[in-house]
Amino acid sequence: EDGHDLWLRYRPVEAGAGYVPTAIAPVADTPTLRIARAELERGLRGLVGAAPAGADRVILIGTPASSPAIAGLDLPLKAAGEEGYLIRSATFDGRSATVIAANRDIGVLYGVFRYLSLIQTRQPVDNLAIVSAPKIKLRMLNHWDNLDRTVERGYAGQSIWDWWKLPDYADPRYADYARANASLGINGTVLNNVNAKALSLTGPWIAKAGALATVFRPYGIRVYLSARFSAPIEIGGLKTADPRDPAVRAFWKAKADEIYKVIPDFGGFLVKANSEGQPGPQDYGATHADGANMLADAVGPHGGVVIWRAFVYSHEQPDDRAKQGYAEFKPFDGQFRDNVVIQVKNGAIDFQPREPFHPLFGAMPKSNLGMEFQITKEYLGFATHLAYLGPLYEETLRADTQARGKGSTVARVIDGDLDGRKLTAMAGVANIGTDRSWSGSHFDQANWYVFGRLAWDPDASSRDIAADWAKMTFSPDPRFVGPVVDLMMGSRETVVDYMTPLGLHHQMGRSHHYGPGPWVAGGERADWTSVYYAMAGPDGIGFDRTARGSNAVAQYAPAVGACFADLRCVDEKDLLWFHHLPWDYRLKSGQTLWEGLVTRYSRGVAGVDAMGKTWGDMAPYVDAERHAQVTAFLKIQRREAQWWRDASVSWFQTFSQRPLPAGEALPPQSLDYYQGLSFPYAPGI
Ligand code: BDP
């Protein structure tokens, strides 16, 4: 087993588990229902074996429109909506039956995956009454894939898009990819990097995207493209990309028309503008709203959307980069077209192991705000550190913006419930590549999985999702599931401990972001350095975002901001994100800040030891090949966690000037040694 089967392994259930072979009633012949039927056959055959002729149990799948039998059952399908499904135990023709029904074919496919997952996770299937519909409309992956098949911040090999052979040859992996995504309900994919090339919008490349769209269509997945804002100049022969210029507007309209001719269900454009050197409307004195609306007008008539990223920070460096997204977008609330989604990263800096929720959530009630999570682990140890991101996503989604009083969670902002928004979105920066295991490591598959599940239901529990994933991917044996789910649930906090405890952030190596680099200083921009964020000095450590400092807390709802600013209220997990404190500041534990910091770094290392031990005990339940890879990766993680701890402690001790707490080992190398390490060809830059 090399992990290629993901969570769709369909290995036989144990004898005596109570599942019986079941026949499948005839299914209408549409592209999606054909796939649904094939999946059901494949799953049932693998899990419980083929049904004998005349089996006394039957499964009925379809829509009222495609199946008179289902129409005849008169099911309450309204609750299933456009993409949801209903699964019911019933009696049909005197036989005991399971009905998987939906209003549209895609709902049937989703329902089939759900039904199979019930068996995979060993839940009873005899008495079902399930109705499920996604709470978020656009559930998307963002690929940061370049046209030369490198992947920005990708740690799973090359891009799975073999652009060179497209559109003539469609690798079978594309269908496998679509199938895996459909099993989670993901319904959109942005094919190319947000740091986009205009070339991807030229005829030959539109044809390549079109070939992928053809493969994805029956799986309910729409294709989107990242658009480079200056494309009118680069491929349109114009002198400007000013969104107010009629020729520029005409270029984008014609471009949209051209794309929709090839891809009639094209999803739309994702845009990174005026951020990290990318072109954008501000280059012409226009605003983000001007830029987004121009593109929205081009794709709107075709039913397309524009997803405009709020990850911006300008060339004039403000006092605090964390404030910039809010500063640039909040004033334009209500000025974006209905088919624009503003895609906001979970936190205000950049996908750190921990960030407080982004202050834009809840602050733009008259705009569509979408969530952007990172699935690829740019800041959490690449592919070789085991970090289950479910708790990170859940922590953000459950955070209370208090925008409309208590209970105004981020989940309710992005599922549209809080402000009555219809166009809702959640995106994940993909961790998929040509690696046999798809994601660079077996446990990184869980991050793709949990992202998809939370995009369907942002209120779901990351622990429950971890349990489903572990059962389906490895083994449903409770002796395996219990310890491994605990291991997964603690893994992200362990990474926080050894990398950036107590609210520290952005302490990694320059550019490649591999390993510790708390000493990173100088260069192009202060806010690309570690020292800017830690603000360590003889007086203490931490970034003061209270009114005495950058006052970033003022961007939150008053009650939330007041809590962050108040040392008696702020959670210690966010302490140094919001406060600059003396080394002798007393933590809740009674330790000084310096002692608590060191203790947490060490706790992180111990956490990896514990994961290694647990995983070792799991050998009886896991095939040798996957067990060995996880074991090897945990050894890498152990070594690197120690390195993070030692390098960070050495560096910060130069400021704290205090001894290590009793029992803490001295770093084995000098600070010079850690600072001298270099990593040419670190992956994913
Ligand atoms: C940062 C990455 C950079 C991306 C950027 C983005 O380091 O590679 O281009 O985010 O989101 O996390 O645009």
Q: Do the two domains 23-132 and 138-473 of this chain adopt the same fold?
A: no
Burial (CB < 10 A; 0-12, 13-18, 19+), residue 34, is middle
pLDDT of residue 543: 98
Q: Is 283 a catalytic residue?
A: no
Give the H/E segment covering residue 647.
Answer: helix 624-656
What residue segments make up the domains of the chain, in order of their start? 23-132, 138-473, 476-524+583-685
Of how many residues is the chain composed? 685
The DSSP-derived string for 554-585 is GGS-HHHHHHHH-TTTS-GGGHHHH--B-TTP
Domain 476-524+583-685 adopts which CATH fold?
Alpha-d-glucuronidase, C-terminal Domain (3.90.1330)
Rounded Cα–Cα distance for residues 453 and 667 (Å): 41
Pairing of strands 425-429, 368-374: parallel
For residue 509, what pLDDT is reported? Answer: 97
- Is pTM beyond 0.90 here? yes
Helix then strand then coil, in percent of the chain rounded to 5, is 40, 10, 45
Which residue's alpha carbon is nearest to atom 10 within ligand 1? 350
CA dist 463 → 138, 397, 470 (Å): 24, 14, 10
350 catalytic? Reply is yes
What is the rounded distance in angstroms from the CA atom of residue 621 to the CA atom of residue 211? 41
Nearest-angstrom CA–CA distance, 205 and 162: 12
pLDDT computed for residue 93 by the predictor:
86
Q: Of 348, 308, 93, 27, nearest to 190 (Cα)?
A: 308
Q: In whole angstroms, what is the distance from residue 180 CA to residue 422 CA? A: 26
State the CB neighbour count (10 A cutoff) for residue 344: 28
Q: Which of 39, 83, 378, 595 is catalytic?
A: 378
Give the distance (Å) from ligand 1 centre to CA of residue 441.
21
Predicted complex: ipTM over 0.90: yes
Helices (H) and strands (E) in the chain, counts: 20, 13
Distance 374 CA to ligand 1 centre (A): 10
- Atom nearest to 429 CA in ligand 1: 11
- Determine which residue's CA is closest to atom 1 belonging to ligand 1: 350
Question: Phi and psi dihedrals of 54, rounded to 5?
Answer: 70, 20
Q: Along the chain (685 residues), what's the average pLDDT of each consecutive run of 10 residues?
A: 97 93 95 98 97 91 96 96 97 93 98 98 97 98 98 98 98 98 99 98 98 98 98 98 98 98 98 96 97 98 98 82 96 98 98 98 98 98 98 98 98 98 98 98 98 98 98 98 98 98 98 98 94 98 98 98 98 98 98 98 98 98 98 98 98 98 97 98 92
Give ligand 1 pocket residues (Cβ under 6 A).
Answer: 152-153, 194-195, 272, 311, 350-351, 378
Per-residue tokens: 383: 């592919």
- What residue's CA is closest to ligand 1, atom 12? 350
Q: What is the pLDDT of residue 313?
A: 84
405 Cα–ligand 1 center, Å: 33
> Nearest Cα to 395, choosing from 361, 365, 420?
361
3-state SS class at 591: coil
56 is written with which tokens? 């006394």
Residue holding tokens 């960070």?
648
CA pair distance 602, 591, nearest whole angstrom? 14
Best residue among 151, 271, 276 to mutate for probing ligand 1's pocket (most ligand atoms within 8 Å of CB) is 276
Q: Whose CA is nearest to atom 13 of ligand 1?
A: 194
Of 311, 382, 385, 387, the closest CA to residue 346 belongs to: 311
Residue 458: burial class (beta carbons within 10 Å; 0-12, 13-18, 19+): buried
Contact (CB, 8 A) for 213 and 223:
yes
CATH architecture for residues 138-473:
Alpha-Beta Barrel (3.20)
CA dist., res. 113 & res. 129, Å (int) = 16
Q: How far is the CA of 278 from the centre of ligand 1 (A)?
A: 11
Cα separations (Å) of 573 from 301, 594, 600?
A: 47, 15, 11
Quick one: tokens of 499?
């990398």
Residue 276 known to be catalytic:
yes
User: Which contiguous run of DSSP H or E holds residue 639?
Assistant: helix 624-656
Atom of ligand 1 nearest to the CA of 272: 13
d(CA 373, CA 311) in angstroms, rounded, equals 12
For residue 300, count other CB atoms closer than 10 A to its CB. 18
State phi, psi for 677 to the nearest 5 degrees: -65, 145
Neighbouring CB atoms inside 10 A of 370's CB total 26
CA 41 to ligand 1 centroid distance, Å? 42
Q: Please tell me which residue in 320, 350, 372, 595 is annotated as part of the active site.
A: 350
The Cα 557–Cα 264 span in angstroms is: 42
By three-state DSSP, how is residue 537 classified? strand
Distance CA 279, CA 500 (A): 32
Bridge partner list, 407: none
pLDDT at position 391, please? 98
Q: What's the pLDDT at 76? A: 96
Q: What is the pLDDT of residue 54?
A: 85
Q: How far apart are CA 678 and CA 51, in angstroms?
A: 60
Site to substitute for ligand 1 among 142, 150, 155, 194, most atoms within 8 A of C-beta: 194
Q: Which two tokens stand for residue 530?
A: 């570690």
Euclidean distance between CA atoms 315 and 334, whole angstroms: 26
The CATH label, of 3.40.50.300, 2.30.110.10, 3.40.50.12280, 3.30.379.10, for the domain at 23-132 is 3.30.379.10
Find out whether 473 and 446 touch, Cβ atoms under 8 Å.
Answer: yes
In order, the DSSP letters of 252-277 are: HHHHHHHHHHH-TT--EEEE--SSTT
Mutate to test the pocket of ligand 1, among 312, 372, 378, 429 (most ligand atoms within 8 A of CB): 378
